[in-house]
Chain A
Amino acid sequence: MASTRSTTARAFEYAPAPESRSIVDIAPSYGLFVGGEFVDGHGKSFKTISPSSEEVLAEIAEADEADVDLAVKAARRAHSRVWGRMPGKERAKYLFRIARIIQERGRELAVLESIDNGKPIKETRDVDVPIAAAHFFYYAGWADKLEYSGYGTESLGVAGQVIPWNFPLLMLSWKIAPALAAGNTVVLKPAETTPLTALLFAEICQQADLPPGVVNIITGAGDTGRALVSHPDVDKVAFTGSTEVGRAIAKAVAGTDKRVTLELGGKAANIVFDDAPLDQAVEGIVNGIFFNQGHVCCAGSRLLVQESVADEVLARLKRRMATLRLGDPLDKNTDVGAINSAEQLAKIRELSEIGEQEGAERWSAPCELPDHGFWFPPTVFTGVTQAHRIAREEIFGPVLSVLTFRTPAEAIEKANNTPYGLSAGVWTDKGSRILKMANALRAGVVWANTFNKFDPTSPFGGYKESGYGREGGRHGLAAYLKGGHA
Chain B
Amino acid sequence: MTASESSLRRFLHGLPGVDQVGAEQRAASLGTRSIKTTAKAFAIDLAISMVDLTTLEGQDTHGKVRALSAKAIRPDPADPTCPSAAAVCVYPDMVATAKDALGSSGVHVASVATAFPSGRAAMDVKLADTRDAVAAGADEIDMVIDRGAFLSGHYLEVFEEIVAVREACSRTDGQAAHLKVIFETGELQTYDNVRRVSWLAMMAGAHFIKTSTGKVQPAATPPVTMVMLEAVRDYREQTGQMVGVKPAGGIRTSKDAIKYLVMVNEVAGTDWLDPDWFRFGASTLLNDLLMQRTKLATGRYSGPDYFTLD
Instruction: Write out the residue numbers on chain B whose beta carbons fall within 8 Å of the beta carbon of A17.
Output: 34-36
Is there a chain B Cβ closer than 8 Å to A7's Cβ? yes
Once A1-B178, A277-B16 are accepted as A-B contacts, the answer to whether A9 and B273 lie under 8 Å apart by CB is yes
Contact bitstring A266-285, B, C-beta under 8 A = 1, else 0: 00000000011111100110
Q: How far is the CA of A192 from the CA of B46 in the complex (A)?
A: 48
Among A9, A122, A276, A450, which residue has the most Cβ atoms of chain B within 10 A? A9
Contact of A9 among B34, B108, B274 (CB under 8 A): B274
Is there a chain B Cβ closer than 8 Å to A13's Cβ? yes
Q: Are B22 and A275 in contact (CB under 8 A)?
A: no
Instruction: Write out the residue numbers on chain B whose beta carbons fall within 8 Å of the beta carbon of A15.
Output: 35-40
Instruction: Write out the residue numbers on chain B whose beta carbons fall within 8 Å of the beta carbon of A333.
Output: 33-34
Instruction: Write out the residue numbers on chain A whose beta carbons fall within 8 Å of the beta carbon of B146.
Output: none
Q: Are B22 and A449 in contact (CB under 8 A)?
A: yes
Contact bitstring B229-273, A, C-beta under 8 A = 1, else 0: 010000000000000100000000000000001100110001111
Is there a chain B Cβ closer than 8 Å to A11's Cβ? yes
Chain A positions 3-21 with a Cβ under 8 Å from a chain B Cβ:
4-5, 7-17
Q: How far is the CA of A284 from the CA of B18 in the complex (A)?
A: 13
CB distance from A150 to the nearest CB of B (A): 31
Q: Are A280 and B265 in contact (CB under 8 A)?
A: no
Chain B positions 116-155 with a Cβ under 8 Å from a chain A Cβ:
139-140
Is there a chain A Cβ closer than 8 Å to B200's Cβ? no
Contact bitstring B16-28, A, C-beta under 8 A = 1, else 0: 1111011101100
Is there a chain A Cβ closer than 8 Å to B106's Cβ? yes
CB distance from B178 to the nearest CB of A (A): 5
Q: Are B49 and A7 in contact (CB under 8 A)?
A: yes
Once A277-B18, A283-B22 are accepted as A-B contacts, the answer to whether A2 and B38 lie under 8 Å apart by CB is no
Q: How far is the CA of A282 from the CA of B308 in the complex (A)?
A: 45
Number of B residues whose C-beta is below 8 Å from A? 43
Number of A residues whose C-beta is below 8 Å from B? 31
Instruction: Write out the residue numbers on chain B whose beta carbons fall within 8 Å of the beta carbon of A283.
Output: 22, 25-26
Q: How far is the CA of A10 from the CA of B271 in the complex (A)?
A: 8
Is there a chain A Cβ closer than 8 Å to B207's Cβ? yes
Q: Are B23 and A279 in contact (CB under 8 A)?
A: yes
Is there a chain A Cβ closer than 8 Å to B43's Cβ? yes
Instruction: Write out the residue numbers on chain A whose beta carbons fall within 8 Å of the beta carbon of B35.
Output: 14-15, 17
Instruction: Write out the residue numbers on chain A whose beta carbons fall within 8 Å of the beta carbon of B18.
Output: 277, 279-280
Q: From A316, which residue of chain B is reached at the shortest CB distance?
A: B234
CB distance from A437 to the nearest CB of B (A): 16
Q: How far is the CA of A332 from the CA of B244 in the complex (A)?
A: 30
Q: From A312, which residue of chain B is reached at the shortest CB distance?
A: B16
Is there a chain B Cβ closer than 8 Å to A154's Cβ? no
Q: Are A277 and B270 in contact (CB under 8 A)?
A: no
Q: Are B19 and A277 in contact (CB under 8 A)?
A: yes
Is there a chain B Cβ closer than 8 Å to A323's Cβ? yes
Instruction: Write out the residue numbers on chain A whose beta carbons fall within 8 Å of the beta carbon of B208.
Output: 1
Chain B positions 86-123 with a Cβ under 8 Å from a chain A Cβ:
106, 108
Q: From B42, which residue of chain A is reached at the shortest CB distance?
A: A12
Q: Are B265 and A12 in contact (CB under 8 A)?
A: yes
Instruction: Write out the residue numbers on chain A whose beta carbons fall within 8 Å of the beta carbon of B43.
Output: 12
Is there a chain B Cβ closer than 8 Å to A126's Cβ? yes
Q: How far is the CA of A92 from the CA of B23 in the complex (A)?
A: 38
Is there a chain B Cβ closer than 8 Å to A429's Cβ? yes
Is there a chain A Cβ closer than 8 Å to B32's Cβ? yes
Q: How far is the CA of A372 from the CA of B139 in the complex (A)?
A: 54
Instruction: Write out the residue numbers on chain A whose beta carbons fall within 8 Å of the beta carbon of B38.
Output: 13, 15
Q: Are B276 and A2 in contact (CB under 8 A)?
A: yes
Instruction: Write out the residue numbers on chain B whose beta carbons fall within 8 Å of the beta carbon of A4.
Output: 106
Q: How far is the CA of A16 from the CA of B274 in the complex (A)?
A: 23
CB distance from A336 to the nearest CB of B (A): 14
Q: Are A10 and B266 in contact (CB under 8 A)?
A: no
Q: Are A332 and B34 in contact (CB under 8 A)?
A: yes
The A contact surface, by secondary structure, is: loop
CB distance from B263 to the nearest CB of A (A): 11
Q: Are B19 and A449 in contact (CB under 8 A)?
A: yes
Instruction: Write out the residue numbers on chain A whose beta carbons fall within 8 Å of the beta carbon of B26.
Output: 279-280, 283
Q: Are A275 and B36 in contact (CB under 8 A)?
A: no
Q: Are A12 and B39 in contact (CB under 8 A)?
A: yes
Is there a chain A Cβ closer than 8 Å to B275's Cβ? yes
Chain A positions 250-297 with a Cβ under 8 Å from a chain B Cβ:
275-280, 283-284
Contact of B270 among A2, A5, A9, A332 (CB under 8 A): A9
Q: Are B22 and A450 in contact (CB under 8 A)?
A: yes
Q: Are A279 and B230 in contact (CB under 8 A)?
A: yes
Q: How far is the CA of A5 from the CA of B86 in the complex (A)?
A: 9
CB distance from B94 to the nearest CB of A (A): 20
Contact bitstring B45-89, A, C-beta under 8 A = 1, else 0: 010010000000000000000000000000000000000000000
Q: From B32, which residue of chain A is reached at the shortest CB distance?
A: A122
CB distance from A81 to the nearest CB of B (A): 47
Q: Are A7 and B22 in contact (CB under 8 A)?
A: no
Instruction: Write out the residue numbers on chain B whose beta carbons fall within 8 Å of the beta carbon of A280.
Output: 18-19, 22-23, 26
Q: Are A275 and B17 in contact (CB under 8 A)?
A: yes
Instruction: Write out the residue numbers on chain B whose beta carbons fall within 8 Å of the beta carbon of A5.
Output: 106, 275-276
Contact of A1 among B39, B46, B106, B244 (CB under 8 A): B244
Q: Are A429 and B17 in contact (CB under 8 A)?
A: yes
Q: How far is the CA of A13 from the CA of B261 in the complex (A)?
A: 12
Q: From B278, which residue of chain A is reached at the shortest CB distance?
A: A9
Instruction: Write out the residue numbers on chain A whose beta carbons fall within 8 Å of the beta carbon of B274.
Output: 7-9
CB distance from B272 to the nearest CB of A (A): 7
Instruction: Write out the residue numbers on chain A whose beta carbons fall within 8 Å of the beta carbon of B270.
Output: 9-12
Q: How far is the CA of A449 from the CA of B19 in the complex (A)?
A: 8
Chain A positions 327-386 with a Cβ under 8 Å from a chain B Cβ:
332-333
Q: Are B16 and A279 in contact (CB under 8 A)?
A: yes
Q: From A276, which residue of chain B is reached at the shortest CB distance?
A: B16
Instruction: Write out the residue numbers on chain A whose beta carbons fall within 8 Å of the beta carbon of B178.
Output: 1-2
Q: Are A2 and B108 in contact (CB under 8 A)?
A: yes
Q: How far is the CA of A10 from the CA of B272 in the complex (A)?
A: 9
Q: From A5, which residue of chain B is reached at the shortest CB distance?
A: B276
Q: From B33, which residue of chain A is reached at the shortest CB distance?
A: A333
Among A10, A11, A12, which residue has the most Cβ atoms of chain B within 10 A? A12
CB distance from A94 to the nearest CB of B (A): 33
Q: From A428, which residue of chain B is reached at the shortest CB distance?
A: B17
Q: Are A278 and B22 in contact (CB under 8 A)?
A: no
Q: Are A9 and B271 in contact (CB under 8 A)?
A: yes
Instruction: Write out the residue numbers on chain A whose beta carbons fall within 8 Å of the beta carbon of B25.
Output: 283
Q: Are A278 and B16 in contact (CB under 8 A)?
A: yes
CB distance from B141 to the nearest CB of A (A): 12
Contact bitstring A153-184, B, C-beta under 8 A = 1, else 0: 00000000000000000000000000000000
Q: From B41, which residue of chain A is reached at the shortest CB distance?
A: A15
Query: Which A residues form the contact surface with B (CB < 8 A)?
Result: 1-2, 4-5, 7-17, 122, 126, 275-280, 283-284, 323, 332-333, 429, 449-450
**A-B pairs, 3 with minimum CB distance:** A280-B22, A17-B34, A332-B34
Ordered by A's residue number, 15 sampled pairs between the chains whose C-beta atoms are within 8 Å are A1-B178, A1-B277, A4-B106, A5-B276, A7-B275, A12-B39, A12-B42, A12-B43, A13-B38, A14-B39, A323-B266, A429-B19, A449-B19, A449-B22, A450-B21
Given contacts A1-B140, A5-B106, A277-B19, 15 further A-B contacts (CB under 8 A): A1-B208, A2-B178, A7-B275, A9-B273, A12-B39, A12-B270, A17-B34, A276-B16, A276-B17, A279-B22, A279-B26, A283-B22, A283-B26, A429-B19, A449-B21
